[in-house]
Amino acid sequence: MKTTELRQKDVAGLQTEVKALQKAHFGLRMQKATQQLNNTATLRSARRDIARAKTILVEKQSADTSAK
């Protein structure tokens, strides 16, 4: 997911996105453990997507608290 798409979401939307990405990453890890994952590069991209979403989430949360 691109950063422009993530920045359009609100805090609740970002939190659900992070949970969905973490669930998908867990599934990929289980596929790797059972030798069913063909493209291991998807693990790296999933980790980076999670980090990207968490970074934007923290930015939005800090902007909300500083605005109050």
Mean pLDDT by 10 residues, the chain (68 residues): 90 96 97 95 97 96 84
Domain ranges of the chain: 3-61
**Distance, CA of 23 to CA of 30 (rounded, Å):** 11
Looking at residue 56, its amino acid is: I
State whether the Cα torsion 47-20-7-64 is positive or negative.
negative
* pTM of model > 0.85: yes
The confidence score (pLDDT) of residue 16 equals 97
The confidence score (pLDDT) of residue 2 equals 87
Residue identified by tokens 């693990």 is 43
Which two structure tokens, joined as six digits, stand for 5? 């798409």
11-33 helix and 41-67 helix, angle to the nearest 10 degrees = 160
- CATH entry 1.10.20 includes domain 3-61: no
The confidence score (pLDDT) of residue 5 equals 93
**Distance, CA of 50 to CA of 35 (rounded, Å):** 23
